[in-house]
Structure 1
């Protein structure tokens, strides 16, 4: 029975340029002099460093723990010594540094104790935790933590599990070679995902320009006795996009407002399934990945390379030609230029292309948009790129959102077909970054406003409470001063001929109180016993005695001055 295939709108057919890198089997990249392992290699939070400079680590040892559920752990790719934990340049178009663990390998490649697991005997939640702690993420490029995708929607039954082997990006062949050489482990890893999600069907989609990979996967499915369906799909970019492949295989169109599990389908890359099986069945965390090295090199090939390997060491394996002028990470459609040769290989690195003016000529000058609509016809998400371009250029970001700019997957189809050579994707990335920045600023301003209002409310409340306390204290004081009438008291009119006693002079009373306070302070100083004076040496005791001898005349003089100051006050008080 033939599988019914569907189609998606748009897409393009650029030259694939895949042949040079599939002529040799997957090679193992040699150990570099230093490994620079970024702690943040996936979508989600920044893992917390668990090692310090000077520590010796083993291969597979946890060096960065997941800080929250939507995060993924990071491990030492080999044994060696941690030389530093510092900011290093990241494999990112911004070129900004990120916190990294710098490891000097010792050449022994000594593993931690590995513990294979029988996942079928474990609770599903425990299996997800194992995958999280093993650092398993989407290796198709999105690097979304895989454990977070392995829970079916509660309200919708899981209908299809899609394993993505399409690999539509030009030049890239890492998934192709992985399926050819390690198909059994991919099928076993897909079985783990199947057992966790419980779908009715498992569909493995492969573009029809990879007949060897499709044959290897079909043979592995039969050999392992699985009922997975290996389906070849027409070669058209971007058929390897998750939503596009789901559309082709199932006919389901996932709206922008929903996630695919809400439509009863979930999608994983073949490399993700492979690393999941290695993590469960062999106790191996994600320490390396298959990377295509191609382009302007003498030897294009796929390499199994340790994460953290500097680009300088990796590209040396391909023997770049003298006219190489840069290196792209990813494919020519969605990739970006690496910020420098010190940037490391990370989990998201699936392809490195050595560029040259011959392979990638300088872009033609940007011309005005003629509203031909070619970009809208090529857009696989049925957007209107020319409208988003105009509003992004005018910085009218609200209108770009009305045209669903965040539905854009930045596949590059619109830029590829634009006759005016407008780098449309760059405008869309700019607009998205500006919107995110403004949203962050608005959130910060709202938080500051809320704090300001709360502070004002607190101050007003404290003022009211203080005024209430003072009023109560004044009332209590007034009540205490009011004389109580006695039963046998003589009326004032009866004693009008007798003079009332006169109160003492307030100034004299105040001075007397000051003198008494000074006397109490002097007595307190004299009564204070020195602390920590037990077990003093002879020299220390002699030094203390000298200090006390110098202090005695000063204390006597101060006492005399205090006496002189208080004597006139006493005399004046007596005279009164």
Structure 2
């Protein structure tokens, strides 16, 4: 079986969070193949653990993928402070005799952002709303490469996931658990220090905030889950996430002081994209009075280039406003009008780029997370849940279509939903061995409990 077929059959998607089906991404040739090991957001431990523990496998998979892409340059990019991880990767590269470079990045946010990383490594800026391939680069996360290694060497499908659990727990831990495991089981394994808590699935800047108790109970581990942050319900990040959009818009219309810090510190603006959040905020008061599509584009078109990294609202704005949420709102307004701003296909990074990087430790302090900083996960726990619920939509594109029914017996790794025909999609596999007890459009429930 060739590389793309093995990846497609295994259901491998971008493990770094986006979930783009990897067999589609790798249908290409590229000058640069970049392995993303930079752990974009604060507090996440997963990529570091994988680099320390599975460096040989990551390097072996990188060689395979780079060969497939016919890449002239293969680079593993990670932050320069990750000394143990860099040493492990260098040793694996030397052992394999691989032509792979290590790129040591600064300790800033968002170093692990795909487009920021491409610009840092290659010196080229990806076009607005474009892909790294537009400048001859392909980027894959280390977790994705580990999945490729397993698929190519052992024929394994993606049925389990590594993730870190941090925050209000006894100590940060790594967990290896089947896809579909309730996140509450992962949190309990980390021994939470609170009986009533909220959770951020992912990182503190771009992660999904769960404060509703039922939502927390129903949430499960998916292919893109890399981290869980356990926080008090009254933490700033939790209460801020609950602000209604109308309140956010009202605050923007009345309290913005036009300091333009949101623009000056915007990572996309600094790599050369046309995005000026302060101008979107300035024009928000007249949103309802603009009838001309041309004028609407001039006022709000920049919002289309927002990547929702959160720098503007979590770090830059001295008034505590939410330019990111306003940009997301205006993206919807642009879609409703059927408007698509022109793209700059050859953007160039601004000369002050390096001086406008956001130091990670300062960001952590601003987020109110300093109490959890500097604590690292050294232990990995294997979980074996009795029951899992495996969603059919764990990726960008159309949900997979079920090929199982209630009452079927499945083994861990068996195909239970097939990638949608003729669409961007990915296969879904059983997380545990057991009996299918429920199948719906959303997913399949598998019970590993013995009957009788």
TM-score over 0.5 for the pair: yes
TM-score after normalising by structure 1? 0.51
Q: Tell me the equivalent position of 2:203.
A: 331
Q: Pick the aligned partner of 2:37 from 147, 150, 165.
A: 165
CA deviation after TM superposition for structure 1 residue 159, in Å: 1.7
Give the Cα–Cα distance (whole angstroms) in 2 for the partners of residues 401 and 225 of structure 1.
54
Please state whether the residue corresponding to 2:92 is helix, strand or coil. Answer: helix
Q: Pick the aligned partner of 1:241 from 109, 113, 127.
A: 113
Q: Tell me the equivalent position of 1:375.
A: 262
Please state whether the residue corresponding to 1:206 is helix, strand or coil. Answer: strand
Matched, 1:259 2:131: yes
CA deviation after TM superposition for structure 1 residue 171, in Å: 0.9
RMSD: 2.4
- Structure 1 pair 159–422 and aligned structure 2 pair: CA distance change class (3 A): same
1:267-286 to 2 correspondence within 5 Å?
267-286=139-158
Q: Tell me the equivalent position of 1:415.
A: 313
CA deviation after TM superposition for structure 1 residue 438, in Å: 5.6
Please state whether the residue corresponding to 1:232 is helix, strand or coil. Answer: strand
- Per-residue Cα deviation, 1:40-83 (whole angstroms, up to 9, x for no partner): xxxxxxxxxxxxxxxxxxxxxxxxxxxxxxxxxxxxxxxxxxxx
TM-score after normalising by structure 2? 0.65
Higher relative contact order (CA 8 A, sep 6+): 2
Give the Cα–Cα distance (whole angstroms) in 1 for the partners of residues 8 and 84 of structure 2.
32
CA deviation after TM superposition for structure 1 residue 388, in Å: 2.2
Q: Tell me the equivalent position of 1:151.
A: 27
Matched, 1:304 2:176: yes
Equivalent pair of 2:209/2:238 in contact (CA under 8 Å): no
Give the Cα–Cα distance (whole angstroms) in 1 for the partners of residues 53 and 71 of structure 2.
27
Q: Tell me the equivalent position of 1:497.
A: none
CA deviation after TM superposition for structure 1 residue 361, in Å: 7.3
Q: Pick the aligned partner of 1:190 from 55, 59, 62.
A: 62
CA deviation after TM superposition for structure 1 residue 147, in Å: 1.1
Q: Tell me the equivalent position of 1:387.
A: 279
Matched, 1:139 2:139: no
Give the Cα–Cα distance (whole angstroms) in 2 for the partners of residues 151 and 194 of structure 1.
12
Structure 2: runs of 5+ lacking an equivalent: 270-274, 340-452
Q: Tell me the equivalent position of 2:328.
A: 429
Matched, 1:211 2:104: no
Please state whether the residue corresponding to 2:255 is helix, strand or coil. Answer: coil
- Structure 1 pair 187–146 and aligned structure 2 pair: CA distance change class (3 A): same
CA deviation after TM superposition for structure 1 residue 222, in Å: 0.7
Structure 1: runs of 5+ lacking an equivalent: 1-116, 441-576
- Structure 1 pair 374–180 and aligned structure 2 pair: CA distance change class (3 A): same
Q: Tell me the equivalent position of 1:406.
A: 304
How many residue pairs were aligned?
Answer: 312
CA deviation after TM superposition for structure 1 residue 314, in Å: 1.7
- Structure 1 pair 402–431 and aligned structure 2 pair: CA distance change class (3 A): closer
Give the Cα–Cα distance (whole angstroms) in 2 for the partners of residues 358 and 414 of structure 1.
19
Please state whether the residue corresponding to 1:341 is helix, strand or coil. Answer: helix
Please state whether the residue corresponding to 1:289 is helix, strand or coil. Answer: strand
Q: Tell me the equivalent position of 2:348.
A: none
Q: Tell me the equivalent position of 1:560.
A: none
Matched, 1:223 2:95: yes
Please state whether the residue corresponding to 1:403 is helix, strand or coil. Answer: helix
